[in-house]
Amino acid sequence: MIGSLSVLGAGLAFGLGAIGPGIGIGLIGGKTIEAMARQPEMAGRLQTTMFIALGMAEAIALLGFVLAFVLYGVK
């Protein structure tokens, strides 16, 4: 019982944990395109900052990924 619940929890942890970062990555990309359209000469710097922010948002999704692995191992 605990085993099957932990598998369910693993799936939920990753799935639900990916919602927030997904929205965040969408917002980051969208806003960067907006900013780049407004000021094309800033494109290089904006892109660098965008990738840094993407990395931060992604890290949150990955915490769910790790948690899923941890939960999957619970017997």
Partner 1 sequence: MTAPVPVAGVEGAAADPLTAAIGKLTHELSVLPLQGEKLAAGDSFNLAAFTLTNYTFWLILAVLLVAVFFILGARRASLVPKGIGNLAEAGVEFVRNSICIDVMGPEGAKYFPFIGTIFFFVLFNNLLGNVPPALPGTGTVGTTFTWGIIVFLVYNAIGIKKNGALGYLKSFIPSGTPGWLKPFMFLLEIISHTLRPVTLGVRLFANMYAGHIMLGVFAIFCALTLEHFTAVGLIVLPLSFVMQVVLRAFELFVAVLQAYIFSILTAVYINGALHASEH
CB 59 within 8 A of CB 20: no
Amino acid, single-letter form, for residue 8: L
Nearer to partner 1, 3 or 30 (CB): 3
Contact status: 42 vs partner 1 (CB under 8 A): no
Alpha-carbon span 60 to 56, nearest angstrom: 7
Contact status: 45 vs partner 1 (CB under 8 A): yes
Helix ranges, the chain (H): 2-17, 19-38, 43-72
Nearer to partner 1, 35 or 54 (CB): 54
**Residue ranges in contact with partner 1 by CB under 8 A:** 2-4, 6-7, 44-45, 48, 51-52, 54-55, 58-59, 62-63, 65-66, 74-75
